[in-house]
Amino acid sequence: MTTATVTRVTGTLAEARPLREAGLYELVRVGARGLLGEIIRFKDEIATLQIYEDTTGLAVGAPVIATGAPLTVTLGPGLLGAMLDGVGRPLARLAAASGDFIAPGASAPTLDPARRWAFTATAALGAAVRGGDVLGTVEEQPGFVHRVLVPPGVEGALAALASGDYTVDEPIGRLADGTALTLAQRWPLRRPRPVAERLPADRPVVTGQRVFDLLFPLAEGGAVAVPGGFGTGKTVIEHGLARHADADVVVFVGCGERGNEIAEVVQEFPRLIDPKNGRPVMERTVLVVNTSNMPVVAREASVYLGVTIAEYYRDQGYRVAVMVDSLSRWAEALRDIAARLQEMPGEEGYPTHLASRLGQLYERAGRATAAGAPTRTGAVSLVCAVSPPGGDFSEPVTQASLRVAGGMWALDASLARKRQFPAVDWALSYSLYTDATAAWFADAAGLDWAAVRTRVLALLQRDAELREIAGLLGHEALQDRDRVVIDVARMLHEHLLGQSAYDPIDAACPVAKTGRMAALAVAALDAALAAVERGATIDELELPALRRAYVALRAAPPDAIAARAADVERAIAALEVRR
């Protein structure tokens, strides 16, 4: 531990000297209240400190203690269901200890130190263990097995290990060299946790959103950016994924888009019920929220905190989805810090290292074989909302995200204004995971997913062309076969790609239903075009009946899908026989 003195304070940045022994990103405690901070720059023996708390009252001459360790998070049972602030302090216990607001300098351990967990030892005494090996298990939430791992970098012969009730800090065993083993372990949040082997994507994270699963899938271990202007539905998408995506664990990082948004998250999440098993969503969720009374710079750390927790559950062999809402607020924190450090600004005032920082963050997504035995495979998938000012995608954060993300779900303000939700611009959006996930989808849906997807995209493309022609030359310029395309495409836009987050049945769509609806839309198009080819006029076709049947299929609960799909098939057959 090194001590120094504050020589300058500007907002949430301070300078301290002399700090010779300390390292970059070392954790510091500043002033009499022990405000939490990190060393973010060194110049000779002067360190620049980024302080994560309200610095009101902090003055030159205040003491600084460098702790000798980087900003770390304690990982262990009790994370699931927790709501943490940007540096890992539990909101509930902090509020209980210090009233509604987090008192500056308050320290509260991430995990409840008093709670006891029933630990079942599985590793054999005398065995040589190393980082990542499973020592035993704890039932962290009803039905959720938390695997207690040897911390990365630790190895030796297992001299003692016993099942029993333990707090997170009590030794559950020890190595021959005396190293104590506990349920919890610490990890510096800016450093990726090691894995045995990174694996290519081979299956999707099913989102339950037809437009994403069908056209722009998210791979397990993949990362997508969701850029969209104000009110285009980013938060609704992120919340929907937290609830419906088929992940074992969800980490939601709220970076406070609007004033009351974080309060909404904190109130809303505990009420959400997982439709798949009727259990509270919070049982498999970790919320990281940046409260309004913490400075902007704390957002910078919160995103790393979220991915570190995600990697910890990945290492246990789980499929983890991380939602960040929104990364633009995180980037603004970087900009704030860079400005105050008087670094040479890059584009629009963002630091020149914005792109590389974003790259490092997105790289923490991935599928991997975990280190240690027995063999486990896990994944961290990342969905980051981006809020470009004025909805202008040419701005630096959106552009930098696109260079590193494997997919983009571009949200369009004009669709949102028309209340076409999710307001996905299908022409601008993309996913690099379509090939890697197509076989899985085809298997789950029992149809040629890639072929159906290609047909749907072609129909959307043709529809856009035709509507452009109609816009230039008038609707009369179109022939009946073009009008058929436009009619079926409208059905597709409204009822296949469109999905209401507030409809209990439609909020999440099973893969098989998505595939069936897409294939039926394509079959309907073919049948209607064939009928026109044989001489039918568009008015003779029973397209309204088809649409009614399709709308009923969209609204069908799981046990009625087969019957409603059969109705659509009959409506398609009726198109064919019409003359």
Ligand X SMILES: Nc1ncnc2c1ncn2[C@@H]1O[C@H](COP(=O)(O)OP(=O)(O)O)[C@@H](O)[C@H]1O
- The residues of the shown chain that bind Mg ion, judged by CB under 5 A, are 234-235, 257
β-pair type (430-431, 285-289):
unpaired
Q: Does 233 bind ligand X (CB under 6 A)?
A: yes
Cα angle: 160, vertex 131, 288; to 5 degrees: 110
Rounded to a whole number of angstroms, the minimum distance from the CB of residue 101 to ligand X is: 26
| Torsion over CA: 115, 121, 126, 132 (sign) | negative
* Choices 34-42, 230-238, 372-380, 552-560 (CB under 6 A): range interacting with ligand X: 230-238
Rounded to a whole number of angstroms, the minimum distance from the CB of residue 398 to Mg ion is: 15
Contact indicator for 136, 127 with CB cutoff of 8 Å: no
Give the Å distances, CA to CA, from 248 to 47, 309, 423, 567: 42, 13, 27, 36
Considering only residues 46, 236, 402, 432, which one is a binding residue for ligand X as defined by CB under 6 A? Answer: 236
What does 302 interact with, of ligand X, Mg ion, none (CB < 5 to 8 A by kind)? none
Q: How far is CA 198 from the centre of its chain?
A: 19
Q: Residue 167 and residue 113: Cα distance in Å, rounded?
A: 6
What does 455 interact with, of Mg ion, ligand X, none (CB < 5 to 8 A by kind)? none
* Choices 231-239, 292-300, 329-337, 362-370 (CB under 6 A): range interacting with ligand X: 231-239
For the window 482-511, what string marks contact with ligand X as x by the rule CB under 6 A? ------------------xxx---------
Helix 480-491 and helix 449-473: axis angle, to 10°? 120
Coil vs helix vs strand at 187? strand
For the window 410-449, what string marks contact with ligand X as x by the rule CB under 6 A? -----------xx---------------------------
| Torsion over CA: 25, 405, 382, 425 (sign) | positive
Rounded to a whole number of angstroms, the minimum distance from the CB of residue 506 to ligand X is: 9
Task: Give φ, ψ of 373 to 5 degrees.
Answer: -120, 155
Q: Does 231 bind ligand X (CB under 6 A)?
A: yes
Rounded to a whole number of angstroms, the minimum distance from the CB of residue 271 to ligand X is: 17
What does 500 interact with, of ligand X, Mg ion, none (CB < 5 to 8 A by kind)? ligand X
Considering only residues 25, 42, 101, 230, which one is a binding residue for ligand X as defined by CB under 6 A? Answer: 230
* Choices 114-122, 233-241, 270-278, 349-357 (CB under 6 A): range interacting with ligand X: 233-241
In the bound state with Mg ion, the residue whose beta carbon lies nearer, of 74 and 235, is 235
Give the Å distances, CA to CA, from 114 to 91, 117, 184, 185, 341: 16, 10, 13, 16, 41
β-pair type (72-75, 185-188):
antiparallel
Which residue intervals of 475-558 are DSSP H helices? Answer: 480-491, 511-533, 543-554
In the bound state with ligand X, the residue whose beta carbon lies nearer, of 367 and 495, is 495
In the bound state with ligand X, the residue whose beta carbon lies nearer, of 234 and 367, is 234
Considering only residues 81, 86, 104, 228, which one is a binding residue for ligand X as defined by CB under 6 A? Answer: 228
Rounded to a whole number of angstroms, the minimum distance from the CB of residue 415 to ligand X is: 10
Q: How far is CA 99 from the centre of its chain?
A: 31
* Choices 109-117, 142-150, 223-231, 401-409 (CB under 6 A): range interacting with ligand X: 223-231
What does 101 interact with, of ligand X, Mg ion, none (CB < 5 to 8 A by kind)? none
In the bound state with ligand X, the residue whose beta carbon lies nearer, of 238 and 463, is 238
* Choices 146-154, 225-233, 332-340, 463-471 (CB under 6 A): range interacting with ligand X: 225-233
Q: Does 234 bind ligand X (CB under 6 A)?
A: yes
DSSP state letter for 132: T
CA dihedral 354, 355, 357, 362 (to 10 degrees): 140
Considering only residues 232, 302, 377, 434, which one is a binding residue for ligand X as defined by CB under 6 A? Answer: 232
Q: Residue 147 and residue 134: Cα distance in Å, rounded?
A: 6
Which residue intervals of 196-255 are DSSP H helices? Answer: 210, 234-244
In the bound state with ligand X, the residue whose beta carbon lies nearer, of 152 and 422, is 422
Structure tokens at 408: 């983009």
Q: Residue 519 and residue 116: Cα distance in Å, rounded?
A: 53
Characterize 324-333 residue by residue with b for buried, 16 or more Cβ atoms within 10 angstroms of its Cβ, and e for exposed.
Answer: bbbbbbbbbb
Rounded to a whole number of angstroms, the minimum distance from the CB of residue 244 to Mg ion is: 18
Q: Does 409 bind ligand X (CB under 6 A)?
A: no
Which residues are near ligand X by CB under 6 A? 228, 230-236, 421-422, 500-502
